[in-house]
């Protein structure tokens, strides 16, 4: 029995930094997101983006992405430039810096040509923004999954995504526009940043609420919520050391911010980069 569509796992990528493949450190997660552009001759066309946190891209000239081949070969690393020859950024984000998302267009045609195993979330089919979350009746206590590569655990010779789960701890303030983050009761660590949060299908529901028949992309992992404790000097009664611990709550930003960053990109592009068909043969 599967509760997460298997291709959701192929949407997630490990993000690394370094000057050579031998020096790579895997520092974050990201995912591929297909923004629906048009329907043409019975085919749906998407512009595919790599999505992660803004803080993952900031002050970096390039990153590496790791993908599995369709064969049983070792995973391959691909260098992705984040600035052009004039040092201008090749990625886009929201004007509001508290919205910690960043997007950049990915050439998935090259991945297909090279026999890479990948997938992308379709914005018109697999995604639940705030309005859809309200429509679905998503609330505290509902279950969700977090997909990514915590602590650089990429899986050895091939990528294997780590899936953690927990209940939605607080979301009504986000649904009402009072907060930019909602909380999931699940441990995340460095390396989870930028990974997707996915709702869990639920066949059972109490009277007056809706069952959830499908899994949806509902957000992007921002960070863990820190718990701080302060050591006080017995002599001076002043703070001496601040201890920070992982509270076990994950801060998630709604997928609306990803859509907003994509709109920022499209506004700046007179002619968007080539779209791809949902049919891999196109």
- In this predicted structure, what is the pLDDT of residue 26? 96
Evaluate if residue 197 carries a pLDDT over 50: yes
Measured between alpha carbons, how far is residue 75 from residues 31, 109, 115 in Å? 16, 18, 11
Evaluate if residue 282 carries a pLDDT over 80: no
The pLDDT tens digits for 9-31 are 999 999 999 987 778 999 999 99
- In this predicted structure, what is the pLDDT of residue 19? 84
Model confidence at 268, pLDDT cuts 50, 70, 90, reads confident
- In this predicted structure, what is the pLDDT of residue 255? 98
- In this predicted structure, what is the pLDDT of residue 279? 61
- In this predicted structure, what is the pLDDT of residue 63? 96
Which letter, b or e, does each residue of 230-252 get, where b requires 16 or more Cβ atoms within 10 Å of its Cβ? eeeeeeeeeeeeeeeeeeebbbb
Which residues are CB-contacts of 12 (< 8 A; sequence separation ≥ 6)? Answer: 29, 30, 31, 147, 148, 149, 161, 195, 196
Greater confidence (210 vs 147) lies with 147
Greater confidence (257 vs 39) lies with 257
Q: Where are the domains of the chain?
A: 6-274
Which residues are CB-contacts of 252 (< 8 A; sequence separation ≥ 6)? Answer: 181, 182, 183, 184, 197, 218, 219, 220, 221, 222
- For the chain, percent of residues with pLDDT exceeding 90: 76
Evaluate if residue 280 carries a pLDDT over 60: no
- Residue 185 near residue 248 (C-beta atoms within 8 A): yes
Q: Give the CATH number of domain 6-274.
A: 2.40.10.120
Residue 95 is encoded by which pair of tokens?
């004007």
The pLDDT tens digits for 206-255 are 777 777 889 999 999 999 999 887 877 777 878 777 778 899 999 999 99
Model confidence at 273, pLDDT cuts 50, 70, 90, reads low
For the residues 75-87, what does the mean pLDDT come to?
94
């Amino acid at each position: 029995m599967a509760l997460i569509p298997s291709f959701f796992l192929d949407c997630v990528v490990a993000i690394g930094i370094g000057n050579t493949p031998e020096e790579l450190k895997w520092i974050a997660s990201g995912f591929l997101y297909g923004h629906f552009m048009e329907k043409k001759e019975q085919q749906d066309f998407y512009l595919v983006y790599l999505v992660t946190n803004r803080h993952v891209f900031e002050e970096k000239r390039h990153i590496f992405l790791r993908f599995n081949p369709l064969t049983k070969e070792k995973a391959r690393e691909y260098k992705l430039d984040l600035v052009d020859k004039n040092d201008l950024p090749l990625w886009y984000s929201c004007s509001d810096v508290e919205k910690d998302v960043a997007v950049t267009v990915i050439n998935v045609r090259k991945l297909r040509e090279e026999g890479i195993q990948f997938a992308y979330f379709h914005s018109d089919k697999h995604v639940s923004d705030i309005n859809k979350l309200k429509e679905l009746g998503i609330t505290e206590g509902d279950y969700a999954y977090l997909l990514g590569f915590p602590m650089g655990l990429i899986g050895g010779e091939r990528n294997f995504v780590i899936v953690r789960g927990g209940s939605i701890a607080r979301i009504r303030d986000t649904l009402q526009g009072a907060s930019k983050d909602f909380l999931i009761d699940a441990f995340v660590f460095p390396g989870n940043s930028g990974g997707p949060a996915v709702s869990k299908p639920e066949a059972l529901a109490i009277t007056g609420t809706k069952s959830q028949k499908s899994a949806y992309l509902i957000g992007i992992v921002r960070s863990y919520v820190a718990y701080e404790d302060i050591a006080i000097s017995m002599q001076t009664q002043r703070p001496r050391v601040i201890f920070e611990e992982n509270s076990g709550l994950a801060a998630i930003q709604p997928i609306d911010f990803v859509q907003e960053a994509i709109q920022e990109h499209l506004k700046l592009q007179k002619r968007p980069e080539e779209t791809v068909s949902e049919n891999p043969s196109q």
